[in-house]
A and B are shown apart, each in its own frame.
Chain A
Amino acid sequence: MFDLDLRSRKPIYEQLVDKFKELIMKEVLQADEKLPSVRTLARQMTINPNTIQKAYRELESQGYIYSLKGKGSFVQASSEKVSQEELLKVQEKLKAAISEALYLGMKRVDIELLLDEIVEMTGGGIRDDKASGSNEDFS
Chain B
Amino acid sequence: MIKLQEVTKTFHKQQVLHDITFQIKGGSIYGLLGSNGAGKTTLLKIIVGILKQEQGSVQIEGQQVFENIDVKKQMIFIPDSLYFFPHYTIEQMAKFYQNIYPSWNQERFVELREVFGLNIKKKVSQFSKGMRRQVAFWLALSAMPAILVLDEPFDGLDPVVRRKVKNLLIQDVADRKMTVIISSHNLREVEDICDYVGILHEGSILLEKDLDELKADIHKVQIAFRNHVPAALKNELSILHEEKRGSVRLWIVRGAETEVSKKIESYQPIVYDLLPLTLEEIFVYEMGGAGYNVENILV
A residues apposed to B, CB below 8 Å: 6-7, 9-14, 38-39, 42-43, 46-51, 54
Contacts and interface: CB of A to CB of B under 8 A. Distances in A.
A12 B170 contact: no
A20 to B, nearest CB: 16
B216 A11 contact: yes
Interface residues of B, number: 25
B77 to A, nearest CB: 21
Contacts of A11: 211-212, 215-216, 276
B259 interface: no
Question: Chain B at the A interface: mostly helix, strand, loop or mixed?
Answer: helix
A46 B163 contact: yes
A9 B170 contact: no
B131 interface: no
B195 A48 contact: yes
B92 interface: no
Contacts of A13: 212
Given A11-B216, A50-B29, 18 more contacts: A6-B191, A12-B192, A12-B212, A39-B174, A39-B175, A42-B173, A42-B174, A43-B171, A46-B163, A46-B166, A46-B167, A48-B193, A48-B194, A49-B27, A49-B170, A49-B174, A51-B212, A54-B212
Interface of B: 27-29, 163, 166-167, 170-171, 173-175, 188, 191-195, 211-212, 215-216, 275-278
Contact of A9 (B173, B211, B278): B278
28 contacts: A6-B191, A7-B188, A9-B275, A9-B277, A9-B278, A10-B276, A11-B215, A12-B192, A12-B212, A13-B212, A14-B212, A38-B174, A39-B174, A42-B173, A43-B170, A43-B174, A46-B167, A46-B170, A47-B192, A48-B29, A48-B173, A49-B27, A49-B170, A49-B173, A49-B174, A50-B28, A50-B195, A51-B195
A50 B163 CA distance: 18
A134 B278 CA distance: 39
